[in-house]
Amino acid sequence: MKKSNLTENCSLSRIVHGQMRMAGWNMTDRELLRFLEDLIGLGVTSFDHADIYGNYTCETMLGDVLALKKGLRDKIQLITKCGIKLVSDKFPGRKVKIYDYSYDHIVTSVENSLKNFRTDRIDLLLLHRPAPFFDPPEAARAFADLKKQGKVLHFGVSNFTPDQFEMLQANTSEKLVTNQVEISPYCLEHFENGNVDFFLKEEIKPMAWSPMAGGKLLNPADRKGKRVLRVLKEIADELNVFPVDKVIYAWLLKHPAGFIPVIGSGKIERVRHAAEALDIGMSLEQWYSIFIAAKGEELP
Protein backbone atom coordinates (compact mmCIF):
# COMPACT_ATOMS: atom_id res chain seq x y z
CA MET A 1 0.00 0.00 0.00
CA LYS A 2 1.34 3.42 -0.95
CA LYS A 3 1.88 6.01 1.74
CA SER A 4 0.09 9.34 1.86
CA ASN A 5 2.77 12.02 2.14
CA LEU A 6 1.50 14.93 4.22
CA THR A 7 4.88 16.70 4.09
CA GLU A 8 8.37 15.74 2.99
CA ASN A 9 8.99 14.01 6.32
CA CYS A 10 5.48 13.06 7.48
CA SER A 11 3.67 10.10 5.93
CA LEU A 12 0.65 8.02 6.92
CA SER A 13 -0.64 4.80 5.43
CA ARG A 14 -3.19 5.47 2.68
CA ILE A 15 -5.82 3.93 4.96
CA VAL A 16 -5.75 4.82 8.68
CA HIS A 17 -7.19 2.53 11.32
CA GLY A 18 -9.39 4.31 13.86
CA GLN A 19 -9.34 2.77 17.33
CA MET A 20 -11.98 4.83 19.12
CA ARG A 21 -14.10 1.75 19.85
CA MET A 22 -11.26 -0.60 20.77
CA ALA A 23 -12.61 -1.05 24.30
CA GLY A 24 -15.81 -2.50 22.85
CA TRP A 25 -14.17 -5.11 20.62
CA ASN A 26 -13.82 -7.54 23.54
CA MET A 27 -10.41 -8.79 22.42
CA THR A 28 -7.65 -10.02 24.68
CA ASP A 29 -4.23 -8.37 24.39
CA ARG A 30 -3.00 -11.32 22.33
CA GLU A 31 -6.02 -11.11 20.04
CA LEU A 32 -5.44 -7.38 19.58
CA LEU A 33 -1.79 -8.05 18.78
CA ARG A 34 -2.76 -10.50 16.04
CA PHE A 35 -5.27 -7.96 14.73
CA LEU A 36 -2.63 -5.21 14.61
CA GLU A 37 -0.23 -7.53 12.81
CA ASP A 38 -2.96 -8.31 10.26
CA LEU A 39 -3.51 -4.58 9.74
CA ILE A 40 0.21 -4.03 9.19
CA GLY A 41 0.18 -6.94 6.75
CA LEU A 42 -2.42 -5.04 4.70
CA GLY A 43 -0.20 -1.95 4.75
CA VAL A 44 -2.36 -0.14 7.31
CA THR A 45 0.27 1.19 9.70
CA SER A 46 -1.25 4.43 11.01
CA PHE A 47 -3.47 4.17 14.10
CA ASP A 48 -5.84 6.96 15.16
CA HIS A 49 -6.58 7.63 18.83
CA ALA A 50 -7.59 10.39 21.23
CA ASP A 51 -6.95 10.73 24.94
CA ILE A 52 -10.70 10.47 25.66
CA TYR A 53 -11.46 7.36 23.58
CA GLY A 54 -13.02 4.54 25.56
CA ASN A 55 -13.46 6.83 28.55
CA TYR A 56 -9.69 7.40 28.63
CA THR A 57 -8.82 3.69 28.19
CA CYS A 58 -8.03 3.03 24.50
CA GLU A 59 -4.54 4.53 24.47
CA THR A 60 -3.54 2.32 27.39
CA MET A 61 -5.01 -0.74 25.69
CA LEU A 62 -2.84 -0.14 22.63
CA GLY A 63 0.20 0.50 24.81
CA ASP A 64 -0.31 -2.84 26.54
CA VAL A 65 -0.42 -4.57 23.15
CA LEU A 66 2.69 -2.79 21.85
CA ALA A 67 4.53 -3.95 24.96
CA LEU A 68 3.96 -7.57 23.94
CA LYS A 69 6.17 -7.37 20.86
CA LYS A 70 9.44 -5.48 20.77
CA GLY A 71 9.92 -3.49 17.59
CA LEU A 72 6.23 -3.21 16.69
CA ARG A 73 6.17 0.47 17.66
CA ASP A 74 8.74 1.29 14.97
CA LYS A 75 6.47 -0.18 12.27
CA ILE A 76 3.51 2.11 12.99
CA GLN A 77 2.52 5.77 13.22
CA LEU A 78 0.64 6.88 16.34
CA ILE A 79 -1.94 9.64 15.93
CA THR A 80 -3.75 11.02 18.95
CA LYS A 81 -5.84 14.05 19.87
CA CYS A 82 -6.23 16.27 22.89
CA GLY A 83 -8.33 19.18 24.10
CA ILE A 84 -11.65 17.67 25.19
CA LYS A 85 -12.28 17.21 28.91
CA LEU A 86 -15.14 14.78 29.46
CA VAL A 87 -17.39 14.44 32.46
CA SER A 88 -16.06 11.08 33.62
CA ASP A 89 -15.76 8.91 36.69
CA LYS A 90 -12.02 9.28 36.19
CA PHE A 91 -12.35 13.00 36.91
CA PRO A 92 -15.17 13.24 39.48
CA GLY A 93 -14.77 16.99 40.01
CA ARG A 94 -15.85 17.93 36.48
CA LYS A 95 -19.41 19.18 36.09
CA VAL A 96 -19.55 19.88 32.33
CA LYS A 97 -17.61 18.86 29.23
CA ILE A 98 -15.22 21.61 28.15
CA TYR A 99 -12.44 22.20 25.62
CA ASP A 100 -9.02 23.10 27.05
CA TYR A 101 -6.14 24.21 24.84
CA SER A 102 -4.05 25.80 27.55
CA TYR A 103 -0.31 25.17 27.47
CA ASP A 104 -0.50 23.04 30.61
CA HIS A 105 -3.32 20.85 29.35
CA ILE A 106 -1.78 20.18 25.93
CA VAL A 107 1.58 19.28 27.49
CA THR A 108 0.00 17.17 30.23
CA SER A 109 -2.18 15.36 27.68
CA VAL A 110 0.87 14.47 25.61
CA GLU A 111 2.75 13.25 28.68
CA ASN A 112 -0.21 11.04 29.56
CA SER A 113 -0.47 9.71 26.00
CA LEU A 114 3.25 8.86 25.94
CA LYS A 115 2.82 6.95 29.18
CA ASN A 116 -0.33 5.21 27.94
CA PHE A 117 1.24 4.16 24.64
CA ARG A 118 4.53 3.23 26.35
CA THR A 119 6.44 5.22 23.78
CA ASP A 120 8.79 8.19 23.64
CA ARG A 121 7.05 10.02 20.79
CA ILE A 122 3.71 10.79 19.19
CA ASP A 123 3.93 10.86 15.40
CA LEU A 124 0.98 13.21 14.93
CA LEU A 125 -0.93 15.25 17.53
CA LEU A 126 -4.29 16.80 16.58
CA LEU A 127 -6.32 19.41 18.41
CA HIS A 128 -9.61 17.54 18.70
CA ARG A 129 -12.22 20.25 18.06
CA PRO A 130 -12.28 24.02 17.53
CA ALA A 131 -12.98 25.85 20.78
CA PRO A 132 -14.89 29.08 21.44
CA PHE A 133 -12.29 29.89 24.13
CA PHE A 134 -8.96 29.52 22.36
CA ASP A 135 -5.60 31.27 22.72
CA PRO A 136 -3.59 30.33 19.59
CA PRO A 137 -0.19 31.63 20.84
CA GLU A 138 -0.51 29.46 23.96
CA ALA A 139 -1.24 26.35 21.92
CA ALA A 140 1.66 27.28 19.64
CA ARG A 141 4.01 27.54 22.62
CA ALA A 142 3.03 24.02 23.67
CA PHE A 143 3.65 22.78 20.11
CA ALA A 144 7.12 24.38 20.04
CA ASP A 145 8.20 22.86 23.34
CA LEU A 146 6.84 19.40 22.54
CA LYS A 147 8.57 19.43 19.16
CA LYS A 148 11.86 20.65 20.66
CA GLN A 149 11.73 17.84 23.24
CA GLY A 150 11.05 15.27 20.52
CA LYS A 151 7.79 14.21 22.17
CA VAL A 152 5.58 15.14 19.17
CA LEU A 153 6.90 14.95 15.63
CA HIS A 154 4.02 16.60 13.73
CA PHE A 155 0.87 18.59 14.45
CA GLY A 156 -2.57 19.07 12.96
CA VAL A 157 -6.21 19.67 13.82
CA SER A 158 -9.57 17.97 13.66
CA ASN A 159 -12.97 19.41 12.67
CA PHE A 160 -11.55 22.91 12.01
CA THR A 161 -12.90 25.29 9.36
CA PRO A 162 -10.50 27.02 6.95
CA ASP A 163 -10.53 30.22 9.03
CA GLN A 164 -9.84 28.31 12.23
CA PHE A 165 -7.02 26.39 10.55
CA GLU A 166 -5.43 29.58 9.24
CA MET A 167 -5.79 31.31 12.61
CA LEU A 168 -3.76 28.61 14.34
CA GLN A 169 -1.27 28.27 11.49
CA ALA A 170 -0.59 32.01 11.62
CA ASN A 171 0.46 31.67 15.24
CA THR A 172 2.72 28.62 15.07
CA SER A 173 5.92 27.90 13.21
CA GLU A 174 4.96 24.21 13.15
CA LYS A 175 3.27 23.29 9.88
CA LEU A 176 -0.21 21.89 10.46
CA VAL A 177 -0.06 18.77 8.31
CA THR A 178 -3.71 17.68 8.22
CA ASN A 179 -7.30 18.32 9.31
CA GLN A 180 -9.39 15.30 10.30
CA VAL A 181 -13.01 15.96 9.32
CA GLU A 182 -16.18 13.98 8.69
CA ILE A 183 -16.54 13.16 5.00
CA SER A 184 -18.69 10.51 3.34
CA PRO A 185 -21.26 10.19 0.55
CA TYR A 186 -23.78 11.05 3.27
CA CYS A 187 -21.93 14.00 4.85
CA LEU A 188 -20.96 16.69 2.35
CA GLU A 189 -20.47 19.45 4.94
CA HIS A 190 -16.86 20.10 4.00
CA PHE A 191 -17.65 20.42 0.31
CA GLU A 192 -20.08 23.16 1.33
CA ASN A 193 -18.13 25.10 3.98
CA GLY A 194 -15.06 25.72 1.83
CA ASN A 195 -12.83 23.13 3.46
CA VAL A 196 -12.32 20.91 0.41
CA ASP A 197 -11.36 23.92 -1.70
CA PHE A 198 -9.01 24.99 1.09
CA PHE A 199 -7.40 21.55 1.20
CA LEU A 200 -6.74 21.71 -2.53
CA LYS A 201 -5.43 25.27 -2.37
CA GLU A 202 -3.04 24.57 0.50
CA GLU A 203 -2.20 21.01 -0.60
CA ILE A 204 -3.43 19.62 2.73
CA LYS A 205 -4.44 15.97 2.69
CA PRO A 206 -7.42 15.59 5.05
CA MET A 207 -8.23 12.55 7.14
CA ALA A 208 -11.86 11.47 6.66
CA TRP A 209 -13.57 10.13 9.77
CA SER A 210 -16.83 8.18 9.68
CA PRO A 211 -16.60 7.32 5.94
CA MET A 212 -19.57 4.95 6.40
CA ALA A 213 -21.57 7.76 8.08
CA GLY A 214 -22.07 5.72 11.21
CA GLY A 215 -24.29 3.18 9.44
CA LYS A 216 -26.48 5.75 7.70
CA LEU A 217 -25.33 4.48 4.30
CA LEU A 218 -25.31 0.71 4.66
CA ASN A 219 -28.32 0.57 7.01
CA PRO A 220 -30.24 3.73 6.08
CA ALA A 221 -33.13 4.93 8.20
CA ASP A 222 -34.02 8.04 6.20
CA ARG A 223 -34.80 8.96 2.60
CA LYS A 224 -31.38 10.44 1.98
CA GLY A 225 -29.54 7.32 3.08
CA LYS A 226 -31.84 5.07 1.05
CA ARG A 227 -31.40 7.28 -2.01
CA VAL A 228 -27.60 7.19 -1.77
CA LEU A 229 -27.50 3.45 -1.11
CA ARG A 230 -29.60 2.79 -4.20
CA VAL A 231 -27.05 4.65 -6.36
CA LEU A 232 -24.13 2.97 -4.59
CA LYS A 233 -25.61 -0.44 -5.42
CA GLU A 234 -26.14 0.56 -9.05
CA ILE A 235 -22.51 1.59 -9.36
CA ALA A 236 -21.35 -1.55 -7.55
CA ASP A 237 -23.17 -3.53 -10.27
CA GLU A 238 -21.58 -1.44 -13.01
CA LEU A 239 -18.11 -1.96 -11.56
CA ASN A 240 -18.76 -5.56 -10.56
CA VAL A 241 -17.51 -4.67 -7.08
CA PHE A 242 -18.95 -6.18 -3.93
CA PRO A 243 -19.73 -5.53 -1.14
CA VAL A 244 -20.96 -1.99 -1.59
CA ASP A 245 -18.72 -0.46 1.10
CA LYS A 246 -15.84 -0.77 -1.37
CA VAL A 247 -17.64 1.71 -3.62
CA ILE A 248 -17.90 4.18 -0.75
CA TYR A 249 -14.16 3.96 -0.08
CA ALA A 250 -13.42 4.24 -3.81
CA TRP A 251 -15.51 7.43 -3.94
CA LEU A 252 -13.38 8.97 -1.19
CA LEU A 253 -10.08 7.74 -2.54
CA LYS A 254 -10.72 9.06 -6.07
CA HIS A 255 -10.93 12.70 -5.01
CA PRO A 256 -7.81 14.79 -5.82
CA ALA A 257 -7.78 16.28 -2.31
CA GLY A 258 -6.29 12.98 -1.19
CA PHE A 259 -8.80 12.00 1.47
CA ILE A 260 -7.35 9.50 3.94
CA PRO A 261 -10.21 7.29 5.20
CA VAL A 262 -10.19 6.44 8.91
CA ILE A 263 -11.65 2.93 9.23
CA GLY A 264 -12.90 2.26 12.75
CA SER A 265 -13.83 -1.40 12.52
CA GLY A 266 -12.53 -4.21 14.68
CA LYS A 267 -13.08 -6.66 11.81
CA ILE A 268 -10.14 -7.20 9.47
CA GLU A 269 -12.51 -7.91 6.55
CA ARG A 270 -13.88 -4.38 6.72
CA VAL A 271 -10.40 -2.89 6.63
CA ARG A 272 -9.45 -5.20 3.76
CA HIS A 273 -12.39 -3.85 1.77
CA ALA A 274 -10.98 -0.34 2.15
CA ALA A 275 -7.54 -1.50 1.04
CA GLU A 276 -9.01 -3.27 -2.00
CA ALA A 277 -10.88 -0.08 -2.95
CA LEU A 278 -7.52 1.49 -3.79
CA ASP A 279 -7.56 -0.55 -6.99
CA ILE A 280 -11.10 0.35 -8.09
CA GLY A 281 -11.31 2.59 -11.16
CA MET A 282 -14.37 4.77 -10.71
CA SER A 283 -15.38 7.08 -13.54
CA LEU A 284 -16.04 10.78 -13.04
CA GLU A 285 -19.71 10.26 -13.94
CA GLN A 286 -20.01 7.53 -11.32
CA TRP A 287 -18.39 9.79 -8.72
CA TYR A 288 -20.84 12.58 -9.52
CA SER A 289 -23.81 10.20 -9.48
CA ILE A 290 -23.04 9.47 -5.83
CA PHE A 291 -22.48 13.15 -5.05
CA ILE A 292 -25.79 14.14 -6.67
CA ALA A 293 -27.62 11.41 -4.75
CA ALA A 294 -26.21 12.81 -1.51
CA LYS A 295 -27.21 16.36 -2.46
CA GLY A 296 -30.68 15.25 -3.46
CA GLU A 297 -30.69 17.53 -6.51
CA GLU A 298 -28.99 17.92 -9.87
CA LEU A 299 -25.97 20.17 -10.26
CA PRO A 300 -26.82 23.77 -11.17
pLDDT at residue 23, rounded to an integer: 97
* Residue 53 among the catalytic residues: yes
Is residue 134 assigned to a domain?
yes
Distance of alpha carbon 300 from the chain centroid: 32
Is residue 132 assigned to a domain?
yes
The catalytic residue among 53, 56, 101, 186 is 53
Is residue 21 assigned to a domain?
yes
0.85 exceeded by the pTM?
yes
pLDDT at residue 105, rounded to an integer: 98
Is residue 44 assigned to a domain?
yes
8 A C-beta contact, residue 257 and residue 199: yes
Is residue 239 assigned to a domain?
no
Question: How many residues does the structure list for the chain?
Answer: 300
Is residue 164 assigned to a domain?
yes
pLDDT at residue 211, rounded to an integer: 98
Count of domains observed in the chain:
1
Is residue 22 assigned to a domain?
yes
pLDDT at residue 139, rounded to an integer: 98
- Residues (pLDDT < 70) of the chain are none
DSSP 215-263: GTTTS--SHHHHHHHHHHHHHHHHHT--STHHHHHHHHHHSTT--EEEE
**By residue range, what is the domain housing residue 81?**
3-182
pLDDT at residue 38, rounded to an integer: 98
Question: 187, 216, 227, 211: which is closest to 270 by C-alpha?
Answer: 211
Q: CATH number of the domain at 19, please.
A: 3.20.20.100
pLDDT at residue 39, rounded to an integer: 98
Is residue 206 assigned to a domain?
no
